[in-house]
Structure 1
Amino acid sequence: MKRYIAPLLIGLIGGGILISLGVWQVQRLAWKEAILSEIDRQILAAPVPVPVNPDADTDQYLPVEVSGATGQRELHFLVSTRKLGPGFRIITALEMDNGRRILLDHGFIPTDAKQAKRTPGTVTVIGNLHWPEERDRFTPENDPETNYWYARDVPLLAGVLETEPVLVVARKMTPADPTVTPLPVDSSGIPNDHLGYAVTWFGLALCWLGMTALQLWRISRRNP
C-alpha cells in the first residue's frame, strides 16, 4: 500500500488545486457578468446634458443628449464589424448650442463611401460619453495625410479638431443620415474570458486526475 500513497497524494493535491482555480474563475465570471449588466443598464439610462467637466473615470458610458452643428472636417477610423464588414467610423467636431466644442462619433460608413461628400448640419444626438483605449503595440500609426486613423485617442483628436477632450458616441441622431450607421457604445468590447479560463482549469484537473489514475493502475500491475 505504501507505494500508492505518494502518487495518490500528488494526484489529489494537484487535482484539488486545479479544481479550486476553476471554481475561482466561475466566481469571477459571475462577478464580471454583474459588472457588465450594470454597465449595460447605465448605457441605456435616460440621457442627461453633457457635464461641464466630464471625467473619464466617473463619466465613462454616461448617456447624454446634445444638440449642435457638426464640423466639416471628418476623421476616418478603420473598423470592421461582424454585420457590416470593413469600413470607417466618422468623427467630427460638434459645436454645441452653448458654444462648447466636443467630438462626435457619427458611426459607420462602408469602405467605398470614404470619399463621398457629407453635408454638415445641425443635429440632436443621443449617445454616450466614451474614452476608448484602443491602442496597443500592434496598432498602426495614424496617417493624417490620407485620413486613415486606427485608434480613438480622445486627447489627440481633440487637439486635431480643436475641441474639448470629450467624445460622444452616437446612439441616435436627428435628423438621421441614411448613409451612416451608428455604432453605439455597448459592453461587448469589454473582455470577459473567465468562462474559457474555468473550462481550461477544469480540463487540466480532469487530465491530472486521469494521469493519476493511470499511474496507480501501472503501479498495481507491477510485481509486489
Structure 2
Amino acid sequence: MANAALALCAVLAFSGFVALGNWQVERRAWKLDLIERVNGRVHAPAVAAPARNAWPAVSRDSDEYRHVSVRGTFLSDLDTRVAAATELGTGYWILSPLQRFDGSVVMINRGFVAQGDPVASVPAGEVIVTGLIRLSEPGGGVLRDNLPAEDRWYSRDIEAIAAARNLAAVAPYFVDAAADAPGSPGGAGPVGGLTVIRFHNSHLIYAITWYGLALMVVGAAVLVCREGRREGRSEGRREAKRR
C-alpha cells in the first residue's frame, strides 16, 4: 500500500514538473515573438499616432514601442515632472501636452532633466513630434504612490496627470520623444531618446529547472525501487535460512 502511494506521488510530481517545464517553453516562444515584434515596431518608419476613434483598441501587445509621429501644438505652462532614474542619473521626465487639430491631446514625454537643471520651454506653433508609444503607468512607482494633490509624480499615470491639469480628451498613451524631436533640445534639457527597451526572459532557465526536477523524481523513484528489491531479496534469503 505504501509503495503504491509513493508511486502515485512520484507520477503526480513528475507530471506536474513536466507540465511546468512545457509552460515555460511556451512562454519563452511567446516572449521571443514579442521581442521580435517590438524590435520591428521600433525600427519601422514612423506612422501617425492612433487617432481618437482608435484609442479603445490601443493595447500593450499591439502598440507599445510603436514608432509614431504626432502633429499639433504644445500647451504651454502645463509641464509635469515625473521622478526618473536614467543612464544620465536621477531627475525627472518632462511630460507636456500636445493638442492636435481635432482638440484631442497626446502627452509627450519630452525627455529627461537632472535635478536642479533648467527645463526648456515648449516650442511655439505647430510641430511634428516623433517617438515611441508608451502605455500609461497608473498608480505610482515601485516604491511610492503618486501624490496629485502635492504635484508629486512617481509614474507616468496619464489619466491622473490629465485630471490634475484639467485636460480633456487625452489619449490613453504617451509618446517618448526622439532625441531630435521639437521640445527635446538635449543639453539644455529635456534630453529625449532615452527609452529603455528591455524584456525579462529567463523562461529557458525556468524550463530547465522544472525538467531537472522531473528527472530527479525519476531518479529517486528508481533508487526507491532498487532499494525495495534489494530488501525483498534480503528478506527472501533470511526466510530461506529460517527454513
Common fold by TM > 0.5:
yes
2:168 aligned with 1:169: no
**The structure with more helix, counted as a fraction of residues:** 2
Residue-by-residue CA offset, 1:35-74 (whole Å, 9 max, x unaligned): 3322332243222233243315336334321243353232
Name the residue aligned to 1:216.
225
Task: Give, in whole Å, the separation in 2 of the partners of 1:202 and 1:78.
Answer: 42
- The residue type equivalent to 2:175 in the other structure is V
Shift in CA distance, 216/183, structure 1 to aligned 2, threshold 3 Å = farther
- The residue type equivalent to 2:123 in the other structure is G
Q: Secondary structure at the match of 2:152?
A: coil
Cα contact 2:22–2:207 (8 A) shared by 1: yes
Name the residue aligned to 2:58.
58
Task: State how 1:51-200 maps to structure 2 within 5 Å.
Answer: 51-58=51-58, 60-61=63-64, 62-67=66-71, 68-69=73-74, 71-81=76-86, 83-96=87-100, 100-113=104-117, 116-122=118-124, 123-135=127-139, 140-144=144-148, 146-161=150-165, 162-166=167-171, 167-172=174-179, 173-174=181-182, 176-178=184-186, 179-182=189-192, 188=198, 192=201, 194-200=203-209
After alignment, is 20-29 or 174-183 more displaced? 174-183
- The residue type equivalent to 1:153 in the other structure is D
Name the residue aligned to 2:238.
none
Cα contact 1:80–1:86 (8 A) shared by 2: yes
Structure 2's unaligned 5+ residue stretches are: 236-243
Cα contact 2:46–2:130 (8 A) shared by 1: yes
Shift in CA distance, 13/38, structure 1 to aligned 2, threshold 3 Å = same
**What is the TM-score with the length of structure 1 in the denominator?**
0.75
- The residue type equivalent to 2:190 in the other structure is V
Shift in CA distance, 157/193, structure 1 to aligned 2, threshold 3 Å = farther
- The residue type equivalent to 1:165 in the other structure is V
Task: Give, in whole Å, the separation in 2 of the partners of 1:110 and 1:56.
Answer: 35
Report the alpha carbon displacement of residue 165 of structure 1 after superposing the two structures with TM.
1.8
Shift in CA distance, 14/206, structure 1 to aligned 2, threshold 3 Å = same
Task: State how 1:18-57 maps to structure 2 within 5 Å.
Answer: 18-50=17-49, 51-57=51-57
> Which fold has the larger relative contact order, with Cα–Cα distance below 8 Å and residues 6 or more apart in sequence?
1
Q: How many aligned residue pairs are there? A: 219
Shift in CA distance, 186/36, structure 1 to aligned 2, threshold 3 Å = farther
Cα contact 1:90–1:105 (8 A) shared by 2: yes
**What is the TM-score with the length of structure 2 in the denominator?**
0.70
Higher CA-based Rg: 2
Structure 1's unaligned 5+ residue stretches are: none
CA RMSD of aligned residues (A): 3.5
Name the residue aligned to 2:239.
none
Cα contact 1:127–1:184 (8 A) shared by 2: no
